[in-house]
C-alpha cells in the first residue's frame, strides 16, 4: 500500500469510527428512516422471518446482511451495533473504488487487493456517501455492491457481475438500472477493442466518431451496428 493511500485510509477509518461512536452517544433513538428499519431487522434477529412492515419500500438486503454479520461476530441487535453494518460497507468502499478507478484510468491496480488509492479514499469520503455510513440505511451497502458489479463486469466476469448485481438490487430495486449499465458498458468495451481471430474476417466495428465531429446523421448507424456486432461476436 502506498504511504499516501495508507495514511489517507487510516485517517478515513479513524474519523469514521470516531464519528459513529459520537453519533451513538448523541443520537440514542432511531433517527429519520431508522424507526422503520430497526424494528424490522430486530424481528429478523428473533428469527421472525414472516414479519414485514408494509411501510418499508426497499427489499430486505440490508437486514439479511446484518443477520450474516450478526452470526459471524455474535453481536446483539441493538441500535449502536446495528449501525456497524453501513459503517463496515463504508470502510470497504475505497477498495472497490480503487479497482474501478484503475480501470477507467487505464493503470495497473495495486498488487494487493487491500491497497486503496488516495483518490478512492477521497471519493469514499464524498459527503453524500460518507454521511449515510453512520445510520442504519441502505445507501452505502447499495453503493458498494453497485460498484462491485461494475468492477466485475469490466473484468469480463459476467456471472459474478450478475450475482453482485442481484445482491445490489436486494438493497435498492432501482439498482437494476446500474446492472444494465454495467452489462452495456462492458459489452461496448469488448466490441470496441476486440481483435480478429487468425484466418477469420475482421469483426464488425462500432461506429464511434469523436464527439466534436459527431452529427445527428450517424446515430442511426450506431443503433444498427450494435446488434450486428453482437451477432458477429457469437459466430
Q: What is the pLDDT of residues 86-117, one digit of tens each?
A: 999 999 999 999 999 988 887 777 666 778 88
Provide, for the chain, the percentages of residues in helix, strand and coil under a 3-state DSSP scheme, each rounded to the nearest 5: 65, 0, 35
Tell me the mean pLDDT in the region 224-234: 56
Kindly state the percentage of the chain with pLDDT values over 70.
Answer: 79
The answer to whether residues 214 and 130 belong to one domain is: no
Does 182 map to a domain?
yes
| Higher pLDDT pick, 213 / 218 | 213
How many domains does the chain fold into? Answer: 2
Gyration radius from the chain CA atoms: 22
Q: 77 and 182 in one domain?
A: yes
> From CA 17, how far away is CA 88, in angstroms rounded?
10
Q: Are residues 218 and 157 in the same domain?
A: no
User: Is the pLDDT reported for residue 142 higher than 90?
Assistant: yes
- d(C-alpha 21, C-alpha 19), whole Å: 5
pTM of the model: 0.83
Give the pLDDT confidence score for residue 206 in this predicted structure. 63
For position 107, what pLDDT does the model report? 78
Q: Are residues 107 and 216 in the same domain?
A: no
> Do 152 and 72 share a structural domain?
yes
Burial class (CB in 10 A: 0-12, 13-18, 19+), 62: buried
Range of 176's domain? 3-190
- Say yes or no: 48 and 148 in one domain: yes
Confidence (pLDDT) at 190 = 77
Residue 197 belongs to some domain of the structure: no
In this predicted structure, what is the pLDDT of residue 175? Answer: 96
Q: Give the other-Cβ count within 10 Å of 171's Cβ.
A: 26
Amino acid at each position: 500500500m502506498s504511504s499516501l493511500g495508507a495514511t489517507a485510509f487510516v485517517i478515513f477509518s479513524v474519523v469514521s469510527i470516531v464519528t459513529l461512536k459520537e453519533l451513538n452517544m448523541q443520537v440514542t433513538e432511531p433517527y429519520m428512516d431508522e424507526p422503520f428499519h430497526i424494528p424490522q431487522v430486530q424481528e429478523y434477529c428473533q428469527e421472525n422471518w414472516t414479519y414485514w412492515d408494509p411501510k418499508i419500500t426497499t427489499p430486505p438486503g440490508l437486514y439479511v446482511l446484518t443477520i450474516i454479520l450478526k452470526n459471524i461476530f455474535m453481536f446483539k441487535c441493538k441500535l449502536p451495533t446495528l449501525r456497524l453494518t453501513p459503517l463496515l460497507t463504508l470502510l470497504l468502499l475505497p477498495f472497490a473504488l480503487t479497482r474501478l478507478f484503475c480501470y477507467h484510468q487505464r493503470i495497473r491496480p495495486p498488487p494487493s487487493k487491500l491497497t486503496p488509492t488516495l483518490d478512492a479514499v477521497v471519493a469514499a469520503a464524498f459527503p453524500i456517501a460518507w454521511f449515510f455510513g453512520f445510520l442504519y440505511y441502505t445507501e452505502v451497502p447499495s453503493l458498494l455492491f453497485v460498484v462491485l458489479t461494475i468492477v466485475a463486469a469490466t473484468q469480463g466476469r459476467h456471472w459474478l457481475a450478475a450475482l453482485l448485481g442481484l445482491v445490489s438490487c436486494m438493497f435498492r430495486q432501482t439498482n437494476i438500472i446500474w446492472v444494465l449499465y454495467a452489462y452495456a458498458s462492458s459489452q461496448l468495451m469488448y466490441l470496441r477493442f476486440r481483435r480478429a481471430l487468425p484466418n477469420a474476417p475482421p469483426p464488425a466495428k462500432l461506429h464511434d466518431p469523436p464527439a466534436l465531429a459527431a452529427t445527428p446523421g450517424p446515430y442511426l448507424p450506431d443503433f444498427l451496428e450494435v446488434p450486428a456486432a453482437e451477432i458477429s461476436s457469437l459466430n
